[in-house]
Structure 1
């Protein structure tokens, strides 16, 4: 047999995603290139690795065994790379971070300098909603989680990074007279919510309930970007994290509606299980955060202060 590491990587991802298209997207390859490599890999085995039923790709039982073996080989190759860096006196390893969806506007700034300093460190960052972030943390699938509200049922440690503030926002279509009504706007216009499990949705729902607002209509969207575009289009109002709407406020596509009891203020925190045995890389990252977080916040997020009404 004469298969290559490249073919093992491709087949491992195909077995994981069950899709040529998603494999091509993740590995930054064309679909024909992935298909060719799959065929070349398959030609080295007399037993089918995959099959097509309808238009769906399935991995055979034999294919799953080969995928499992491929993963072990790739893990060993990765370990060799890390050991090589360590032998040279360089920090090496991997950091896995699960990030609440709005945290994608925050976490890269706290990672960039650390990653640039340590070329032997690999990063896997999963961006999802709070429920899935907490689940990943609970199952010990990640080193760290970035969240704005700590889980009540888990014993965790955390490092506070910066404030997370949520404001009521509307599109530029709102007139001066409409804005003057403030609280009445919440009963006159539809409210755009994130999906179940989102920390932003929970904060918004708690605010509406606490203040006894009678919502005329609810619209649910499954990402912060979708909510933002819907508000810009005039579909309704929403309570949104300030961190995710900087450019839209600057362009005046969105506007903040000052209202009592807002903003809702929480803290972005890097969190990990108290029982977690941190790797040298994970500990080095925490040390970096403690030393640099104030400078990073000042350099990249000082603009937030201008929205304190």
Structure 2
């Protein structure tokens, strides 16, 4: 056999993503290039690694075993590269972070300068729903996670990054009588919720229950972007994090509806399991944040009501 490390990397990524298209995106390659590497790799085995049923690629049982071995090989290669870079005095390795969906508007700004300073560091950032973030956190599959509400029942340590301010928001085209009491606003228009389990959803429900507000109509959507588009279209109001609607407020597509008790302020926090023994890379990143967080907040979030801690 004469397979290459590149072929191992391509095959392992196909198995991980379950798709040639997604593998190509994550590896920054074209689909034809990934398909060629897969074919060249598979030609070296007498037993099929994958099969195509309909338009979907499926990994065989033998393929999964090979993928597991490939991942082990790639991990060892990464360790060799890491040792080499360490002897040169350079930080290296893969930083694994899980981010709740709205956190995609926050996390990149706290990573840019660190990654520029350490070009040999790889980043794996999974932007997903809160339940998936907590699952990967509890299973110790990641180094750090970004959340806006600390989950109960999990012993965590954390570092505050930024205030998370939530306001009642509506389309600029929707007319709201400024003299109407805030309880009446919620009766007049549908309130759009995030899915159950979302941090934003929990914050909304706590506000509504605490103020004994009666909701006549509501709808539920599964992402912050979907909620934003629904509000833009005039389907209703929502209580949303300011961080995700900054551009729409500046272009006057959306407007904040003044309501007693709002904004609600939570914290964007980078969290990890209590007692976790961090490797040098995440330790270096946390130290970087301690030294640079204040400057990052001032540079990128000074107009968002962010406060340094």
TM-score of the alignment, normalized to the shorter chain, above 0.5? yes
Establish whether residue 213 from structure 1 lines up as the match of residue 213 from structure 2.
yes
Matches within 5 A, 1:13-162: 13-162=13-162
User: Which residue of structure 1 lines up, in the alignment, with residue 241 of structure 2?
Assistant: 241
The more displaced of 47-56 and 94-103 is: 47-56
Unaligned runs of 5+ in 1: none
- Is the CA contact (8 Å cut-off) linking 2:143 and 2:278 kept in structure 1? yes
Deviates most, 229-238 or 35-44: 35-44
Matched, 1:174 2:194: no
Q: Which moved more, 1:31-40 or 1:184-193?
A: 31-40
Q: TM-score, normalised by structure 2?
A: 0.94
Distance 1:270 1:186 in 2: 33
- Find the aligned partners of 1:13 and 1:127 in 2 and give their Cα distance: 18
1:179 Cα deviation from its structure 2 partner = 4.3
Which residue of the partner structure matches residue 304 of structure 2?
304
Q: How far off its partner does 1:237 sit?
A: 0.4
Whether the 8 Å contact between 1:96 and 1:143 is mirrored in structure 2 is yes
Gaps of 5+ in 2: none
Per-residue deviation, 1:257 = 0.4
Task: Give the secondary-structure state (helix, strand or coil) at the position aligned to 1:181.
Answer: coil
Number of matched pairs: 305
Deviation at 1:297, TM superposition (A): 0.8
The 3 A distance-change label for structure 1 pair 45 and 166 is same
Superposed CA RMSD? 1.6
Q: Secondary structure at 1:304's aligned position in 2?
A: coil
**C-alpha separation in 2, matches of 1:26 and 1:305:** 34
**1:31 deviation in Å?**
2.5
Matched residues in 1 for 2:55 and 2:120: separation? 40
C-alpha separation in 2, matches of 1:121 and 1:24: 20
- Range that drifts further, 233-242 or 219-228: 219-228
Q: How far apart, CA to CA, are the structure 2 residues paired with 1:295 and 1:230?
A: 35
- In structure 1, C-alpha distance between the alignment counterparts of 2:274 and 2:193, rounded to whole Å: 33
- Structure 2 CA distance for aligned equivalents of residues 110 and 138 of structure 1: 23
Contact 1:182 1:258 in 2 (8 A): no
Task: Please name the residue that 2:222 is paired with.
Answer: 222
Matched, 1:195 2:195: yes
> Following the alignment from structure 1 to structure 2, what is the Cα–Cα distance between the partners of residues 250 and 182?
26
Deviations 1:62-107 (A, max 9, x none): 2112111111111111111111110101122221111111111111
Please name the residue that 2:254 is paired with.
Answer: 254
What's the TM-score, normalizing by structure 1?
A: 0.94
Shift of 1:236: 0.7
Contact 2:163–2:305 under 8 Å retained in 1: no
Deviation at 1:24, TM superposition (A): 2.3
Higher helix share: 1
For residues 136 and 293 of structure 2, the distance between their equivalents in structure 1, rounded to whole angstroms, comes to 24
SS of the equivalent of 1:303 reads coil
